[in-house]
Amino acid sequence: KVIKRSRWLLLRNRDNLKEDQAVKLKELLQANQSLMTVYLLKDQLKELWYAPSEDEARQRWRDWFNLAISSGLRPVQQFARRLRDYREGIVASARYRLNTSVLEGMNNKIKVIKRMAYGYRDSDYFFLKIKAAFPGKVR
């Protein structure tokens, strides 16, 4: 009964939970050991994206992967093996701190420049306009 209708509770960040939701989450995780394991692995995997360096991200990946494989939960093991093919992209997030919102903003700005550039005869000038629009670091 505790587990039913708790999907969204499990998907929310622990920091964003209200007091009654935190109590319900605690009860839920105590009621099911496998669910507790998966929840902790989820939190640890999220930390990988906030690694301060690429080496730290690689270490966090290795730690998480080993925990997932040794968890004894077959769906978690399958997920970890599938995710292994994407580890270089995941680790690269420590080097390139771009998220999709920043990229979407950059793409939209380039589209506006392209619309305004109608009639430019020189593609070099177009690329200079793009470089001028993004002069410094993204963050």
Percent of the chain with pLDDT over 90: 27
Residue 12 has pLDDT above 70, yes or no: yes
- Three-state SS at 105: helix
Write the burial class of residue 24 (CB in 10 Å: 0-12 exposed, 13-18 middle, 19+ buried): middle
> How do residues 100-109 score in pLDDT, each as one tens digit?
787 888 899 9
> How do residues 57-96 score in pLDDT, each as one tens digit?
999 999 999 999 999 999 999 999 999 999 988 888 888 7
Residue 136 has pLDDT above 80, yes or no: no
Residue 119 has pLDDT above 80, yes or no: no
3-state helix, strand, coil split of the chain in percent (to 5) is 70, 0, 30
Percent of the chain with pLDDT over 70: 96
Amino acid at 137: K
d(Cα 134, Cα 139) in Å, to the nearest integer?
11
pLDDT for the residue 27: 79
- Three-state SS at 89: helix
27's tokens: 């009860």
pLDDT for the residue 135: 80
d(Cα 59, Cα 36) in Å, to the nearest integer?
23
Write the burial class of residue 48 (CB in 10 Å: 0-12 exposed, 13-18 middle, 19+ buried): buried
106's tokens: 């950059």
25 close to 8: Cβ distance less than 8 angstroms:
no
With cut-offs at 50, 70 and 90, classify the pLDDT of residue 138.
low
54 close to 88: Cβ distance less than 8 angstroms:
no
